[in-house]
A and B are shown apart, each in its own frame.
Chain A
Amino acid sequence: DADVTQTPRNRITKTGKRIMLECSQTKGHDRMYWYRQDPGLGLRLIYYSFDVKDINKGEISDGYSVSRQAQAKFSLSLESAIPNQTALYFCATSDSADTQYFGPGTRLTVL
């Protein structure tokens, strides 16, 4: 079984809809991250969390929110999706500041 899972793997939605992307991990790591990948732009950090009560903004947090419900779960929400949020979204976990383990990604399309 995968250590970091993301659901859904693919999602097509319409502008203005609320969307939630889920991430679960079985690695027992405290640190969890959400990234966005766009062609030619690499991975950009949206939000990160170092434990259940800790939420930190990354470089592109506008239009997104997160919830750390438990050590193993970190969800990303788009309150009102817009087309330029079409991208590949990755969750990652870590037990230190450097090595991060990534999930398989969620491909989100906003029409």
Chain B
Amino acid sequence: GQQLNQSPQSMFIQEGEDVSMNCTSSSIFNTWLWYKQDPGEGPVLLIALYKAGELTSNGRLTAQFGITRKDSFLNISASIPSDVGIYFCAGQLVDKLIFGTGTRLQVFP
């Protein structure tokens, strides 16, 4: 089945550092979304992007919809311990979402 390539697979950073992760696809998507999964919970939507080139922020999070519509990026600035979790990108394909493989983020104090 189709999945999105997400990188890096995992990250271990120190509190206060900035984080970047990305998601690429061989297919074009009209919508990109970023979700976060806290340990023991279901994924929660962070940011939704609807237009190629769009740059959207949600607090310390900033996401971009790539110009080619085949990629998206998520940046987290000044990381804090509660940023720990798994981050998933997702692209909308007609009436379904295709999810990336996830980036596991660990933040050390």
Residues of chain A touching chain B, judged by Cβ–Cβ distance below 8 Å, are 4, 35, 40-45, 48, 50, 58-60, 90, 92, 97-105
Contact = CB atoms under 8 A, between A and B. Distances in A.
Q: Which 6 A-B pairs have the closest CB atoms?
A: A102-B42, A59-B1, A43-B99, A42-B101, A42-B99, A98-B31
> How extensive is the interface on chain B, given as a class?
20 to 34
A42 B41 contact: no
A69 B102 CA distance: 32
Contacts of A59: 1-2
Contact of A104 (B42, B48, B97): B42
Interface stretch (B12-20, B53-61, B66-74, B87-95): B87-95
Contact of A98 (B6, B48, B99): B48
A100 B33 CA distance: 10
Interface string B31-70: 1010000001111110010000000000000000000000
Given A41-B3, A59-B1, A90-B42, A99 B33 contact: yes
Interface of B: 1-4, 6, 9, 31, 33, 40-45, 48, 88, 92, 94-97, 99-102
Contacts of A45: 96-97
B22 to A, nearest CB: 15
A43 B43 contact: yes
B42 A103 contact: yes
Given A42-B100, A42-B101, A105-B42, 12 more contacts: A4-B42, A40-B102, A42-B4, A42-B6, A42-B88, A43-B88, A43-B99, A59-B1, A97-B31, A97-B95, A98-B48, A100-B97
A90 B92 contact: no
B53 to A, nearest CB: 18
